A and B are shown apart, each in its own frame.
Chain A
Amino acid sequence: NAGVTQTPKFQVLKTGQSMTLQCAQDMNHEYMSWYRQDPGMGLRLIHYSVGAGITDQGEVPNGYNVSRSTTEDFPLRLLSAAPSQTSVYFCASSYSGSVGYGYTFGSGTRLTVV
């Protein structure tokens, strides 16, 4: 089925460990982004990409790295996990970052850092 696929769905990390959250879309969307969702807060943008080879920071980029080597994939790397990074992470894609285009979200990765 077409859409945005995120893996893993759940992950527990120890403080200081690193890991990569995977995101893949098969809709040939140019725009991809990562959000985190915390209790009592709206989704916040971490990083985004307007096309292969192009990435930029969002509202809360510290502690995260991204790269975009292909149109389909947009992995999010946690360099040294901290308890403050415990959250639900969503990847989203859109035909374009321009206004008027809807976003398709993945089903999320629930990350716990202990």
Chain B
Amino acid sequence: KNQVEQSPQSLIILEGKNCTLQCNYTVSPFSNLRWYKQDTGRGPVSLTIMTFSENTKSNGRYTATLDADTKQSSLHITASQLSDSASYICVVSAPGGAGSYQLTFGKGTKLSVIP
């Protein structure tokens, strides 16, 4: 069964500090990996999309890395801000039937940035 495991479940950091969130997956075959940010009471918003051939992708202070061999990804947040407080969700895509693709969602890491 395709699975996406995220760690830690929750994290508290001081404003201005860096942090790294982890994502391990067993999805096969692999198409791409996405990181989403979900603010409380809102829908997820895409941060990055990476294919198996990409090792790193940045979006402002967010940098995602991917190791397709070990099936691991990380999301690094630099110089955290209070607005980074949210859940971060790792999503892995695999081919489905009839040309469609299936998304497997992780449970998310809840990040709290405190002053």
16 A-B residue pairs with CB within 8 Å: A42-B4, A42-B106, A43-B89, A43-B105, A56-B100, A92-B43, A98-B99, A99-B31, A99-B93, A99-B101, A100-B51, A105-B43, A105-B44, A107-B42, A108-B41, A108-B43
A4, A44, A98, A103 pick with most chain B CB within 10 angstroms? A103
A90 touches B4 (CB 8 A): no
Q: Which residues of A contact B101 (CB under 8 A)?
A: 97-99
Q: Contact flags (1/0) for B71-93 with A, using CB distance below 8 Å?
A: 00000000000000000010001
Residue A41, interface by CB 8 Å = yes
A40 and B42 contacting across the interface, CB-CB below 8 Å: no
Which chain B residue lies CB-closest to A48? Answer: B100
User: How far is it, in angstroms, between the C-alpha of A43 and the C-alpha of B105 when the chains are bound?
Assistant: 6
Counted as pairs of residues, one from A and one from B, with CB atoms less than 8 Å apart, the total is 53
**Would B89 and A42 count as touching, CB distance under 8 A?**
yes
Look across to chain A and name the residue whose beta carbon is closest to the beta carbon of B39.
A107
Chain B residues within 8 Å of A40, by CB? 107
The verdict on A24 contacting chain B, using a C-beta distance below 8 Å, is: no
